[in-house]
Amino acid sequence: MQTVELQLQSDQVSPELRELVLTLLSASKTIADKVRRGALAGVLGSAAQQNVQGETQKKLDVIANDILKQALLASAQVRALASEEEDNVVAANAEGGYVVAFDPLDGSSNIDINGQIGTIFTVYRAQDVASDSPEQFAQPGSAQVCAGYVLYGPSTQLALTTGGPSRLYTLDTDGQYVLTEAELAIAPDCQEYSINMSNQRHWAPDTQGYIQALQAGSEGPRGKDFNMRWNGAMVGDVHRVLMRGGIFLYPANTQSKIHNGKLRLLYEANPMAMLVAHAGGKAISGAQKILDIQPESLHQRVPVILGASNEVDEFSRQHH
Ligand code: P6P
């Protein structure tokens, strides 16, 4: 049975990065236990406090954040951490060679309805600046050394790349993450799109035209029918794209608060872009590849269009 520990060794991941990944995975198992027990663990409902995004935090957001933060602060490999739930970079260990950013619980609006939720994480090499400097994370997504998510669904599953193929592991009852897909591969063409249609009136005209062509199906310019899915949790929607293809979109939006899209570059768009790229897919902001974007601020948002390479190219062609 190929566990994630054995796979990291055969992928020749350094002992330091291996230790860091296993620290993250240990924390994910603690979170998975609380998610599974839900109301019985007293983790549902709101925390009656707001995060830097101005969003009301759910109890489980705060609990998951604390579990990951404590685990990483205790790791000799971690120089600093950043989180959707932390206003600023948090210094960890001066000797640490890596910095870690995470969305502790993506899809919070799904928590109280037993929907798909997950933890998204990304790892970069530490920079030669102060441990708690935002410069630690002013690195393009192409500099990520590792990216992954844990999806707390009917199965608890880990999607992970450490620079090689994106691989999928399933958490067994004995607490082992076991390899279940050695190389995820997204077909270049698709017939499924994923977008929150309620925002349609706020999209740019090119985006409206692109989506209308998909809706027109076989009678329209695309000459084939498309299906639509929207989980309300990026981790669930991207997982579906990695498993059965498709295109996921959270495009630019004329609403003032999310004119630049809703998703955050550092701990949502970039790790997902790396996982998708290492499964043969593409991820763009519209103007450029997400992995090429030079970050300007810790919690900056970015439009996200990712998935089947030919479909992402089709979106690009319609956006001059
Ligand atoms: P909307 C969850 O809050 C999240 O950040 C992503 O996981 C998800 O894709 C998106 O927001 C959902 O946004 O506007 O559909 O509620």
Segments in the chain below pLDDT 50? none
Same domain, 162 and 218: no
- Domain CATH for 33: 3.30.540.10
Position 14 in a domain: yes
- Residues 92 and 79: their CA atoms lie apart, in Å, by 5
Which of 247, 186, 241 shows the shortest CA–CA distance to 214?
247
| Count of domains forming the chain | 2
95 in any annotated domain? yes
- Give, in order, the Cα–Cα distances in Å from 317 to each of 158, 249, 282, 313: 33, 15, 14, 6
What is the pLDDT at residue 33? 96
Range of the domain at 286: 192-317
Confidence (pLDDT) at 39: 87
Ligand 1 test: best mutation among 46, 60, 106, 249, most atoms within 8 Å of CB? 106
CA 282 to chain CA mean position, Å: 14
Q: What pLDDT shows up at residue 258?
A: 74
Do both 271 and 305 map to the same domain? yes
Say if residue 172 is in the same domain as residue 197. Answer: no
CA distances from 28 to 35, 103, 195, 253, 275 (A): 10, 12, 28, 33, 18
Interval 193-225: pLDDT, tens: 999 999 999 999 999 999 999 999 999 999 999
Residue among 234, 239, 240 to mutate when testing ligand 1 (max atoms within 8 A of CB)? 234
C-alpha span between 263 and 154 (Å, rounded): 25
Same domain (yes/no): 116, 237: no
On whether both 75 and 196 belong to a single domain, the answer is no
Neighbours of 288 (CB within 10 A): 11
The answer to whether residue 187 sits within a structural domain is no
Q: Is 118 inside a domain boundary?
A: yes
Q: Is residue 186 part of a domain?
A: no
CA of 248 to the centre of ligand 1 (A): 12
Ligand 1 centroid, distance to 132 Cα (angstroms): 28
Decide which of 128, 161, 181 is a domain's last residue.
181
Q: Which of 154, 181, 208 represents a domain boundary (last residue)? A: 181
Nearest-atom number in ligand 1 for the CA of 250 is 9
What CATH number corresponds to the domain at position 216?
Answer: 3.40.190.80
d(C-alpha 30, C-alpha 197), whole Å: 35
DSSP for 283-301?
Answer: EE-SSSBGGG----STT-B
Same domain, 163 and 221: no
Cβ(104)–Cβ(84) under 8 Å?
yes
Ligand 1 pocket, residue 236 CB under 6 Å: no
Place of tokens 């030669």: 128
Atom from ligand 1 closest to the CA of residue 232: 12
Q: What does the alpha-carbon distance between residue 82 and residue 89 come to, in Å, rounded to a whole number?
A: 5
How much distance in Å is there from the Cα of 233 to the middle of ligand 1? Answer: 5
Same domain, 124 and 232: no
Domain annotation covers residue 158: yes
Looking at the domain assignment, is residue 36 inside a domain?
yes
Co-location of 249 and 127 in the same domain: no
Sequence-ordered strand ranges (E) for 202-303: 227-228, 247-250, 282-284
CA distance 175 to 158: 12
Say yes or no: 234 and 129 in one domain. no
| Boundary residue ending a domain (149, 181, 213) | 181
pLDDT at 305: 98
> Which pLDDT score, from 0 to 100, does residue 43 have?
85
Residue 60 lies in a domain: yes
Angle at alpha carbon of residue 36, lines to 33 and 37, rounded to 5°: 90
Would you call 151 helix, strand, or coil by DSSP? strand
Q: Check whether residue 20 and residue 63 sit in a common domain.
A: yes
9 and 121 belong to one structural domain = yes
* Together in a domain, 153 and 252: no
